[in-house]
A = this chain, B = another copy of it.
Amino acid sequence: MGRKRPTSRDVANLAGVSRTTVSFVLNNVPDVKISPETRQRVLDAARQLDYYPHVSARRLASGRTRTIALVWHRGPDATYRDAFLPGLLQGITRAARHYGYHLLFRPIEPDEPDDAYVELARGRHTDGLILSGPRSDDPSLLELHRDGFPLVLHGRLPGADIPSVDVDNARGAVQAVGHLLALGHKRIGLITNAPPAYTASQQRLEGYRLALESAGIPFDEGLVRYGNFDEESGQEAADSLLDLPEPPTAIFVASDMVAIGSLKAIRDRGLRVPQDIAIVGFDDITAARFITPPLTTIRVPAIGLGWAAGELLIRIVEGDPPRETEVMLETELIVRQSCGAVERSGERR
C-alpha cells in the first residue's frame, strides 16, 4: 500500500501556513487578501503532494453536492426511449460540465416503487433532479417540489407548475401533416405513438387536428388509430386503416418505431410507399435513415432537450432561475422518401 491520501493539513504544513489559508487559496475565495508569495507556496505544495480535496468532506461542509441526477423511468416504452438516451445524456452532461457539476444516472426499474428517487433528494445525494417520464399521480413529487427541492421534468405534467422541458409535440405534428397536405393529400390517417393516457400522444393528435382544420379539412375520428410504442401495434393499426372502404392516401405515424410496423403492413398487401400510400413518422430514430424506403420524419432534438434540462435545473439550484421555466423545443421536418416529395437520390441526412 502506498502512503495515505494527503489532506489540506499536509499541504498547510508543507507550505508553512494554516489550513484556512490553503482553503482560501485553492478555492480562490474573493475579498480575501493573500500575498502573492504565500499563494504560490500553497499552490506548489499542493502540486508537490498531488493533493485532491476530499469531495465528501467538502460537500458536508459546504452543504452542496454539485451533482444532479437523471431519474429514468423504465416503463413500457423502454426500447422507444432508449433511442433518446445517448443524446439526452450528452446534452445533460455538457450542461453539467459547463457549470462544474456531475451527473448521477438513476434508472427506476419496473419492480421498484415509483418514488424510489426521493432518497436521492432527501438524503442530499444530489442538489437537484431531472425526472424523465413523470407520473401525475406521484404524491412524493409534489411534496418535494413544495419543499423547494430543485426539480425539472422531462415531459409536461399538467396541473403542477413544476419547471419542465419538452419538445413541442403539437407543432411537430403540424409540420408532419402540413407537409402531407402540401403534397396534395386530402385524406390523411393518423396512428399515434401511444395510448391516449400519454400526454405526448394527446399533443400529437391535437397537432394533427389543428393542421387539418387550418386547411379546411374536417377532423374525422374514423381515420385515427392508437399505436403502442412498438412495431406490432403499427402493423395492426395500419391494417385497420387499410381495411376501410375508403382508405387514406397518406398516414402520419407519430412514432418511427410504430411506422416501421405500418410499412410492413402496407408492403404485405402489395402496396408501395410512397406511390400508393405516403408515410411520415416522428422521432427520427437512427433506423429511420436505413429502412426502405428511408422515412420522412420529425426530428426530436435529444441533445438540445438534455442541455435545456441540465441548464434549467442548475440555474434553479444556484438560485438564478430564468423567467420562463417551461421550455419548449422545436422539432425539425426531415424529408426523405417515404412521403413522396423527393425521388430516390444519393442524399444523406
Residues of A within 8 A of B (CB): 1-2, 5, 50, 52-57, 59-60, 65, 67, 74, 82-83, 85-87, 89-90, 93-94, 97, 102-107, 109, 119, 122-125, 146-148, 260, 285-287, 289-292
Contacts and interface: CB of A to CB of B under 8 A. Distances in A.
A105 B106 contact: no
B2 A148 contact: yes
A104 B107 contact: no
When all copies of this chain in the complex are counted, the total is: 2
Nearest to A51: B122
A125 B102 CA distance: 10
Contacts of A83: 86, 286
A146 B291 CA distance: 49
Contacts of A87: 82
Contact of A286 (B67, B147, B286): B286
A109 B122 contact: no
Nearest to A149: B2
Nearest to A70: B105
Given A148-B2, A287-B286, A105 B93 contact: yes
B103 A89 contact: no
A124 B89 contact: no
A106 B103 contact: yes
* Residue in A74, A82, A290 whose Cβ sees the most chain B Cβ within 10 Å: A290
A125 B60 contact: no
B93 A107 contact: yes
Given A287-B287, A291-B290, A105 B107 contact: no
Contacts of A292: 291-292
A120 to B, nearest CB: 8
A148 B4 CA distance: 12
Contact of A104 (B104, B147, B148, B285): B104
